[in-house]
Amino acid sequence: MKPYPFIHLAAVALLVMSSPVLAQTSGVVSPQAVADQNVKAETTDIATLQLQAAAGDVKAQVRLADDYFTGNGIGQDYAKAFDWYKKAANAGDPEAQTELGLMYAKGYDITPIDYKEALHWTRIAADQGYVGAQYNLGVAYDNGLGVPADLPTAFSWYLKAAGQGYDIAQFNVATMFEAGQGVLQDLGSARDWYQKAADQGNAPARYNLGNMYLTGHGVDKDASKGLALVEASAKQGFPLAQSRMAGLYYAGEAVSQDKVKAYAWALLAAGDGDPDGQDLMKTMDGNHLLNEADMRQASALADTYASAQ
């Protein structure tokens, strides 16, 4: 059986807004340790918000910029969002500085892409301890966005964000410890950081940690614990975990062999474009392993799994 796929989100990540940093992807719980950094003006009245922002209320300026950026309660207007973020950023607000850095990095058709400015504002926010900016700097150094790629520096910024409880940073720290990228390989530390992210509901962390236990990679082999973690990830809709569950049921590894459950999980993984799930479906179809009643049962089971996501 081929080794399970190893995933490292940092390798494909892009700079993200600070707000989504606190709620990334399905199944991820916002870290409470950084919740106080996203305090907003306590009003949803746009007219009042505009008056407060114009009067110099920095939190109102950030909230107004957010609303212009997303179109929440007002017409989406990236230019106005940029202007209000810049006012708040100049006033020292780290959230606005992070958002402004993103806008310079992305452009959004209202300003030329400028990684120098993006990193300037992001670093100012990161030096204030703002978790979204710390993570974004890690992404920049990890991927060479506006700076030469530097994995040890990427790791150091991810570690700062991870220490504040941000689960995706915790996941990236874990993968770097596991692979020995930017830091000496330390499987014990990898396990610990995966666990921290998994405890917050991070599906990729549950998947990687589950596979460590299933294979005994850096931990005492524990098929029951590994299966529970991978299944939890699969039930969150993570395609690699769904494909892994399909393979486990198909081979009878860590579970009793069950071709119907194998096909059900493969259906879900294949539907999300996972090649292993697609290959397993082709194998099972080609070998006529399921009859019509089995196929109906597998389809119904897949629907049940999907509805629980």
CATH numbers and ranges of domains, the chain: 9-207 (1.25.40.10), 237-309 (no CATH)
Please name the residue ranges forming H helices in 151-291.
Answer: 151-163, 167-179, 187-199, 203-215, 223-235, 239-251, 259-271, 275-286
Asked whether 104 and 111 are in contact (CB, 8 A), the reply is yes
How far from the centroid of its chain's Cα atoms is residue 158's Cα?
Answer: 13
The reported pLDDT for the residue numbered 44 is 57
Under the banding of pLDDT at 50, 70 and 90, the label for residue 45 is confident
The reported pLDDT for the residue numbered 32 is 31
Share of the chain above pLDDT 90, in %: 80
Under the banding of pLDDT at 50, 70 and 90, the label for residue 37 is very low
Residue 24 has pLDDT above 50, yes or no: no
Least confident stretch, 32-46, 70-84, 103-117, 145-159: 32-46
The reported pLDDT for the residue numbered 244 is 96
Q: What global pTM score does this model have? A: 0.84
Q: Across the chain, what does the average pLDDT equal?
A: 86
Q: For the segment 88-98, what is each residue's pLDDT rounded down to a tens digit?
A: 999 999 999 99
Q: Who wins on pLDDT, 32 or 230?
A: 230
Shortest CA distance to 19 belongs to which of 98, 114, 127, 109?
98
Q: How many CB atoms lie within 10 A of CB 4?
A: 21
Phi-psi region of 186 (alpha: psi -120 to 50; beta: other; left: phi over 0): beta
The reported pLDDT for the residue numbered 307 is 84
The reported pLDDT for the residue numbered 161 is 97
Q: Who wins on pLDDT, 30 or 196?
A: 196
Under the banding of pLDDT at 50, 70 and 90, the label for residue 234 is very high
Q: Who wins on pLDDT, 21 or 204?
A: 204
Q: How many CB atoms lie within 10 A of CB 256?
A: 7
Under the banding of pLDDT at 50, 70 and 90, the label for residue 194 is very high
Q: Which amino acid is at 190?
A: A
The reported pLDDT for the residue numbered 73 is 87
What contacts 292, CB < 8 A, 6 or more positions away? none
| b/e 49-72 (16+ beta carbons within 10 angstroms → b) | bbebbeeebbbbbbbbbbbbbeee
Residue 158 has pLDDT above 60, yes or no: yes
Residue 243 has pLDDT above 70, yes or no: yes
